[in-house]
Structures are given as C-alpha cells and as structure tokens.
Chain A
Amino acid sequence: MRFFEYEAREIVKRAGIPVTDYGFTTDATEAKEIAQRIGGPTVIKSQVLTGGRMKAGGVKFADTPEEAQAHAKDILALEINGHMPRGVLVDPKAQVEQEYYAGVVWDGTAKKPLMLFSDMGGIDIEQVAEEHPDHVGRGHFSTLEPFSDFQAKQVIAAAGVTGRALQRATPVLARLARLFLENDMTLAEINPLAELKDGSFVALDAHMEMENEGMPRQKALLGALGIGAQEGTREGHTPTAFEEAVKAIDAADHRGVIQGKDTGFTGNIGLVIGAGGGSLTLTDAVRQQGGKPANYSEIGGNPSVAKACGLAKQVLRLEGVEKIAVMMSIVSNTRVDIVARGVIKACLELGKDPGETIAIFRIPGAWEEEGFKILDSYGIEYCDRSVSLWEAAGRAVAKIEKAAA
C-alpha cells in the first residue's frame, strides 16, 4: 500500500527523523493559515499517489500566505494522471545546503533489506546509480540481529560522505532502516534528505510503501495515520464494478479463491481461467493468437459451485461479452466437476444456452471424468490435457472471433 507524502512524512517523524514544520489540509483558506504560522516562503504540494506532479503543476512556490491560498485552490482542483489530490501539503521553503538520498528496499536475491545512500539527492536514484555509481553506497542488513548504527555509517561513507555530514546523516539512515523492518515496508525513501545551512538534516520528501501482507499487524500505525480498512490497499486504480462484484463473491464464502480484473482490458473474450500461473499463461496465449480478452481472472483452491458460478456470471455481464472460455492448467486441488457445474449454472441463470455460451472448457485433472460427463450432457465443447493451453486458447479465439464477425 502506498502512502501519501503527508502520511510518509508523519511515519518518518514518528521514527525520530527530523522533518520540516509542514501542514496538511484539504482547504485553501486553511492553507493560508498554515503559511501564516510558518511565516516566510512556502511550497504547496499536491497530495496524489502518482509521480510527475512537479511537471503537471502540482508543486508551486509562494512568497506570501495569500499566494499560498491561491496556489492551494488551484492545486486542489488539479487532476494529475487521472488522480484528484487528497489535499495539499504546505511546507516551509528550506534553505538547503546539499541534497542527499536515503532509501531502504528489499533485495529478493540476497533475501535481505538493502540500504542505499547518495550525496546526489533530489533525482531518481536508479539514474544516479547508473551514471555515478561511486556516489551511491549500499549495504544489506540482517533481519535477525539487532540493527547497529555503524551499518548505516558504512553505507554513507561508501557514498564518499565524511565529516559532519556523515555524523548527522548516520542516525537518519539508521532510523529509516529500523522503521522499514518494524513497519513491514517494501520501500522507505527520503528524497531529498536536506542538509540545511546550519548543518542539520531534515526530510523534505518521503515515499513509503507498506506490504499488503503486513497490514493486518500494522493496525496501530495505520490507525494513528487515520487510515481505515475502507481504504483497502490503494491499488493504482479505483476498482471497477466488475472487480468489486468479484471481490464480494469471493468474500462471501471461504472455500477456494476467485479473483477478477478488467482494468486495462477492453476485448470481447470473457475469460474464466486459473490458477495463478495458468491464468498468466492463458491470457498471453489468447492475446498472442489475436484474441482480445475482456478481463483477467483466477480460480484456485477448490472454490464452491456458487463461487465459480458467480465469477462466470460477472464475466458474462461485461460489455461486449457473448461467450466465455473456461480454461485452467491441470488441476489437482480444484475439482473439474465443480467448476463445470458453476459455469453451466451461470449460463442457465442468465437465460443463455451453456453449449453456445461456453466456447471451450479446458480443465483437466481432479474429478475430470465426472466433469466431462456433465459437460457432455449440455453439449459443451471440452478437452483434456492432450490439448495444450495454447491450442485451447486458440480454439476459443477462433470461435469467439468468428461469432463476433
């Protein structure tokens, strides 16, 4: 789950890392009041979960509280990459001496968290690493041993930083490393981390992402930030009606799992497919053979008839979908006959002929004899494992495209 900047800064602050005396608001008049309290030039920053806000006009500088109010009013009404801002951050314009980068991510190969530090802050760290590798320090740390500050110091020193800056930056990176682990983050980044004229260090921007799987045990932090369960995991897009409906069906009973997405899909081939890897393989196979999926879906873990039925119904209700392809890689846990019953029930309940509506049924494996018997009785075209995923997808494409033509 991504945090807004104002939340990320609060997380940083709670970890004992200095931040500026900023204020968050959803109201332009209040933005003026915050600017008055700050007293001096301010920066007004749009609070959106998307990049490129500077370019889009979502970050503006103000010399007076009145100017801050005017900018806040504009920015609050400004959509960026399809996102309306949550609010604005009013930040004192800092007297920056030098900008640094401090970050922590997971390294899946080393299977440990990785600290990154650079004295070239304010820009994309991947770019710095590519163009100026000697300006980036890195270091893994243990998830079992207690973190010790020297580990952060080594990383900063490896970036070529010494003197007072090294001493001041060390506790910042150390605290960032600790908060990363303690709060189940997948990304904790301060960029820029600013060294001010007086030599102090302060976080001018922060970017945090929490692992969805960690959220159940991070309720205290989420609660303190005012983030309730209704916010979900803040996927990059607003869930569609289809996605909401599938989610609700899945939540209604605990047997098996179904998932569905139609964001980014605009075709006419309804896909009732599974499981994880099988769905990825089948979606590719449909597209590579010229088919246009209307959706993506996953069936797994032996769902009930009701669940399989519910998913198929939702797919059949998608705009432009007349037929569905029901396909999975060989199943060993999910039962072929149960999925067959589910998709047939969906057709019947929508007043459609299962034999016409189900373009192809390719789910081999557990209970397939029983499943194939049922499919036979409704005149549905099915195949066993001798027909590959690719061939099954090809048949679905041919049949559905022909019908649509």
Chain B
Amino acid sequence: MSILIDQNTTFIIQGITGREAVNLTRECLDYGSKIVGGVTPGRKGREVHGVPVFDTVEQVIEHNGGAVPDGSVVTVPPAGTRDAVFEALHAGIKTIVVVTERIPRRDVAMMVELADAKGARIIGPNCLGVIVPGVAKMGGIGGPARNAAVAYQPGSVGVMSRSGGMTTEISSTLTAAGLGVSTAVSIGGDAIIGSTYAELMPFFEADEQTEAIVIYTEPGGRMEAQLAQWVKDNDSRLPIIAFMAGKFMDDEEMQGMSFGHAGTIVEGKEDSATEKIARLEAAGIPVVQRIDEIPDLVKAKIAERSAA
C-alpha cells in the first residue's frame, strides 16, 4: 500500500519541454511511473522521451479517449503556475504536484482554494513530489531511477519533509538501517503549501504499510503547531519523530533573515525553532538533534507501540 499514488496512478507533466522537466520525465518513466501526456503551449506534436506533447490538458484527455489522468506535475515558470494549476483542476485532475518555486503567496492561496472546492489535493509548491519506493514516483524526488533505488527501499516509515533534499537524506538513512520507506512526500518549503503534515496524517493513518512517521521541519510558519494539535485531537496509531533544522536562526544576530526556503521567515515568536521544538515535544513528538539518531528511535517507538 501507499498514500497519494500507487502503481496504477496516471499523470501528466505541465511544462514538459523545459530542461528540468525533460529530466524529470526520464526519471519518472525509468522508475515505472505512468506518464500519459505532457503539455507545453505551442509545442503540440512533439515528444519527450516518447511522451506525446499537447497544447492543452484537454487535448491530452481527448488523446487518451476521455480518460482524465489522476495527477499532474506542474513545472512551469512562476508567472504561469497559477494558470497551469487552474487548467489541471478544471480538467478534473485530483492530485497536483507543484514543483515551481518563487510563486507569490496570493497565487498559491488561490490554487489551494480552488483545489479545495474541486475536491483535489495540491502537494507543494517548491517541492520535489511523492515517491512510493519500488512502485512509482511523481516528481524529481530521489533523482534518476538508479539513485532513487539506492536511497529509497520499500519499508514501514512514512516521511514528510519541507526540504526536498532532506527527504532523500532521511529516507536513505532509514533504508540503510533496514527500515525502509512506505511513502515519502516532499511537501514544499513555502509559507503556504497545499498539504501540511497534519493534512497528510490521515492518509498515513489509513495506510497499513506505514508504522511510523518521520518529519523534517524548519523555523517559520505554524505547520508544526497544527501537527501537534492534530496529534492531541486524534488518537493516532503512528509514532512521529521530528528533526528540526535551522536552530541557529533563533540567534539574535539572525533575526529577520530567512535561510534555506522562503517559508523559513520567522514572523512571530511561535515560528522560532525553540518554540516549535517545545510544542512538538509537548505533544509527545520527540525532536532529535541528529538525523543518524532517527532509525534507532523509530525502531524503539514501533516496538513500544506493538508491545502496548
């Protein structure tokens, strides 16, 4: 089992002829994903690694005999992202991975609001997508298929991360320790994202393969507070372990600066690393100091739960 995508998931790539998108297409195909078309306005008739390119999402659907793809990976420049996502949503696509970074918050909020109204889900923006080890990946997560195979082996731990690169670092550590990964989601590093930790928890909760959750977090935003609240409100069967990067940003001389991702800008006391760690721990979510401490703690927590 898995969350968000599985071996049958079909998706398209909007902006497929861009340099990064061409690589991403190759990687996903090699990994076994089902890409049923690509869209770049004005490039109808081309092919990218055998994937036919169209001018509109509507044309892709027509080409596939009216079958609406399950998902779309959107990798178009920031000024055009909102429009591309709206196009996918209007076509009835339900899972949209937005790779593009530097999208103004207003556009992200509009995309998310429309997705909610249409019963669709957005992952990202500013993310690398979703991977179900050994099954499929949707987005650049893990890189080329042979690299992804090294870092991601199927297993029992669900991973959610605000950093794309750290999704792979953590998953690789879990893989090396023999735990493996059920589904890993790069949720994006922006101030507003389509799917937060707390919003994805019910999916992992329903996934039998997942026995524990590891999250990578940063300063900025209230997403961790939302997760802490979710844990308090729901009697989850899943132990959660967190890693917090960017503690140095709490120093006085670092105030007002943002590092790493746009979303790390601290806009209030609650957004600081110290405050978040306290909040997570109060909700029973241990925050480790080092990534390499994660596997042993995951094993201990799983053993604890199965003994109870």
Binding site for B on A (CB under 8 A): 105-106, 108-109, 111-113, 126, 142-144, 181, 184, 186, 211, 213-214, 216-217, 235-237, 261, 263-264, 274-281, 283-285, 287-288, 296, 298, 300, 328-333, 365-366, 385-386, 388-391
How long is the Cα–Cα vector from A188 to B227 in the complex, in angstroms?
28
How long is the Cα–Cα vector from A184 to B105 in the complex, in angstroms?
8
Q: Is B79 an interface residue (CB 8 A)?
A: yes
- Segment at the interface with A among B52-60, B244-252, B277-285, B299-307: B244-252
**B interface, size bucket:** 35 or more
Chain B residues whose CB sits within 8 angstroms of the CB of A298 once the complex forms: 259-260
Q: Is B202 an interface residue (CB 8 A)?
A: no
Chain A residues whose CB sits within 8 angstroms of the CB of B260 once the complex forms: 276-277, 279-280, 298
Asked if A213 and B262 make an inter-chain contact with CB atoms under 8 angstroms apart, the answer reads yes
Asked if A389 and B291 make an inter-chain contact with CB atoms under 8 angstroms apart, the answer reads yes
A276-B165, A330-B151 are known contacts; what are 13 more A-B pairs with Cβ within 8 Å?
A106-B192, A108-B223, A111-B108, A111-B109, A111-B113, A111-B192, A143-B109, A144-B110, A144-B114, A261-B259, A277-B216, A280-B248, A390-B289
Give which listed residue, A106, A108, A235, A275, contacts B165 with CB less than 8 A: A275
Chain A residues whose CB sits within 8 angstroms of the CB of B196 once the complex forms: 109
* Distance to closest chain A CB from B203 (angstroms): 18
Instruction: Name which residue of chain B comes closest to A282, CB basis.
Output: B245
Residue in B106, B172, B243, B261 with the greatest tally of chain A CB atoms within 10 Å:
B106
Instruction: Name which residue of chain A comes closest to B255, CB basis.
Output: A236
* Distance to closest chain A CB from B165 (angstroms): 4
Chain A residues whose CB sits within 8 angstroms of the CB of B45 once the complex forms: none
Listed by A's residue number, 6 A-B pairs whose Cβ atoms lie within 8 Å are A108-B192, A109-B222, A213-B105, A277-B189, A281-B243, A332-B141
Chain B residues whose CB sits within 8 angstroms of the CB of A274 once the complex forms: 165
Q: Is B62 an interface residue (CB 8 A)?
A: no
Chain B residues whose CB sits within 8 angstroms of the CB of A142 once the complex forms: 113
Give which listed residue, B169, B245, B267, contacts A330 with CB less than 8 A: B169
Asked if B226 and A329 make an inter-chain contact with CB atoms under 8 angstroms apart, the answer reads no
Chain A residues whose CB sits within 8 angstroms of the CB of B147 once the complex forms: 332, 365-366
* Distance to closest chain A CB from B55 (angstroms): 25
Give which listed residue, A144, A236, A276, A300, contacts B113 with CB less than 8 A: A144
Chain A residues whose CB sits within 8 angstroms of the CB of B223 once the complex forms: 108-109
* Distance to closest chain A CB from B106 (angstroms): 6
Check A211/B109 contact, CB under 8 A, given A277-B245, A278-B163, A283-B248.
no
Residue in A261, A264, A287 with the greatest tally of chain B CB atoms within 10 Å:
A264
Asked if B218 and A126 make an inter-chain contact with CB atoms under 8 angstroms apart, the answer reads no
Asked if B259 and A280 make an inter-chain contact with CB atoms under 8 angstroms apart, the answer reads yes
Give which listed residue, A261, A277, A300, contacts B166 with CB less than 8 A: A277
How long is the Cα–Cα vector from A277 to B127 in the complex, in angstroms?
12
Chain B residues whose CB sits within 8 angstroms of the CB of A263 once the complex forms: 253, 257
Binding site for A on B (CB under 8 A): 20, 23, 78-79, 102-106, 108-110, 112-114, 117, 140-144, 147-148, 151, 161-166, 168-169, 172-173, 176, 189, 191-192, 196, 216, 218, 221-223, 225-226, 243, 245-249, 251, 253-257, 259-264, 267-268, 289-292
How long is the Cα–Cα vector from A233 to B223 in the complex, in angstroms?
26
How long is the Cα–Cα vector from A105 to B221 in the complex, in angstroms?
13
Give which listed residue, B109, B112, B248, contacts A113 with CB less than 8 A: B109
Check A329/B168 contact, CB under 8 A, given A278-B163, A385-B176.
yes
Asked if B251 and A278 make an inter-chain contact with CB atoms under 8 angstroms apart, the answer reads no
Chain A residues whose CB sits within 8 angstroms of the CB of B117 once the complex forms: 144
Asked if B104 and A211 make an inter-chain contact with CB atoms under 8 angstroms apart, the answer reads yes
Asked if B105 and A280 make an inter-chain contact with CB atoms under 8 angstroms apart, the answer reads no
How long is the Cα–Cα vector from A105 to B291 in the complex, in angstroms?
34
Residue in A213, A284, A390 with the greatest tally of chain B CB atoms within 10 Å:
A213
Chain B residues whose CB sits within 8 angstroms of the CB of A329 once the complex forms: 163, 165-166, 168-169
Residue in A109, A144, A281, A283 with the greatest tally of chain B CB atoms within 10 Å:
A281
Asked if B106 and A280 make an inter-chain contact with CB atoms under 8 angstroms apart, the answer reads no
Chain B residues whose CB sits within 8 angstroms of the CB of A113 once the complex forms: 109
Give which listed residue, B226, B256, B290, contacts A109 with CB less than 8 A: B226
Chain B residues whose CB sits within 8 angstroms of the CB of A279 once the complex forms: 259-260
Asked if B105 and A186 make an inter-chain contact with CB atoms under 8 angstroms apart, the answer reads yes
Instruction: Name which residue of chain B comes closest to A215, CB basis.
Output: B104
Instruction: Name which residue of chain B comes closest to A235, CB basis.
Output: B257
Give which listed residue, A111, A112, A214, A275, contacts B163 with CB less than 8 A: A275
Chain A residues whose CB sits within 8 angstroms of the CB of B173 once the complex forms: 388
Asked if A106 and B248 make an inter-chain contact with CB atoms under 8 angstroms apart, the answer reads no
* Distance to closest chain B CB from A271 (angstroms): 11
How long is the Cα–Cα vector from A235 to B243 in the complex, in angstroms?
28
Instruction: Name which residue of chain B comes closest to A333, CB basis.
Output: B143
* Distance to closest chain A CB from B30 (angstroms): 13
How long is the Cα–Cα vector from A283 to B257 in the complex, in angstroms?
15
Chain A residues whose CB sits within 8 angstroms of the CB of B163 once the complex forms: 275-278, 280, 329
Asked if B104 and A184 make an inter-chain contact with CB atoms under 8 angstroms apart, the answer reads yes
Give which listed residue, B109, B144, B166, B226, contacts A278 with CB less than 8 A: B166
Asked if A143 and B151 make an inter-chain contact with CB atoms under 8 angstroms apart, the answer reads no
Asked if B259 and A213 make an inter-chain contact with CB atoms under 8 angstroms apart, the answer reads no
Chain A residues whose CB sits within 8 angstroms of the CB of B79 once the complex forms: 216-217
* Distance to closest chain B CB from A294 (angstroms): 13
